Amino acid sequence: MRIFGGLLSPYVMRAALAARFKGHDLPVAMPEGGLKTPGYLALNPMGKMPCLEDGDFHLPESAVIAEYLEEVLDGPSLLPGDARARAKARLLARFADLYLAPALTPIFRAREKPDEVPAALEALGKALGQLETLRGADTAWAAGDQPTLADATLMPVFFFLDAFDAAFGTAKLLEAQPGLAAWWGRAKASDEGRRMVAEQSAGLAAFMAPNTAPRAA
């Protein structure tokens, strides 16, 4: 089993983290020739990363990949507890996909479209407040006392709050959300968090290097 993509992408990292939280270290690499070759588009017609390869089975879309890995890999459950606990983990992950990550996208594009950054920062602050409310009381991990699909989804997105802080003050937006701030502090200090931060930092350095980096986010 392997994952096509680059680990700077929060979507690729989500798939990798889901496997790692279950005790599996899947290889991750860009597909030969990039994301738009006829061969890769036959596996993932959207031409995006990640795409999971499991034998002759190919699966795009990080949320679906993470749920598939939860089903096929042995190891601790990433959807533990009762139906309500599982729904909570899924809700936080879905919120990240639909509201949090899109708010970050204009900040990635700040070099090309700096005018869009102030509105993006406002949207990001609003999304963090909504996430704090959805999450409710702080727990050791995002949705309970063990890592879930919510942590695998949120952690690679929160990396960018730290990474963009010097330029845009993004980490400060977290100060208004004490539960999330506490969770993120613990998550990035965990073994998987420290590894993730190192890998995404390396990917971001390559991405930001002028004219040399493959597009990774």
Residues forming the site for ligand GSH (CB under 6 A): 9, 11, 35, 47-50, 61-63, 217
Closer to ligand GSH by Cβ: residue 60 or 193:
60
Min dist. Cβ of residue 102 to ligand GSH (A)? 10
Rounded distance between C-alpha atoms, residue 104 and residue 150, angstroms:
18
Q: Which residue is nearest to ligand GSH (CB)?
A: 48
- The distance of closest approach from Cβ of residue 182 to ligand GSH in the complex, given in angstroms and rounded to an integer, is 27
Distance CA 104, CA 134 (A): 19
CB 117 within 8 A of CB 110: yes
Assign 178 to helix, strand or coil: helix
Nearer to ligand GSH, 5 or 147 (CB): 5
Q: Which is nearer to ligand GSH, 63 or 174 (CB)?
A: 63
Q: How far is the CB of 63 from ligand GSH (least distance, A)?
A: 6
Closest CB to ligand GSH among 67 and 132?
67
- The CA R_g of the chain, rounded to the nearest whole Å, is 17
Q: Alpha-carbon dihedral of residues 14, 19, 20, 23, nearest 10 degrees? A: 160
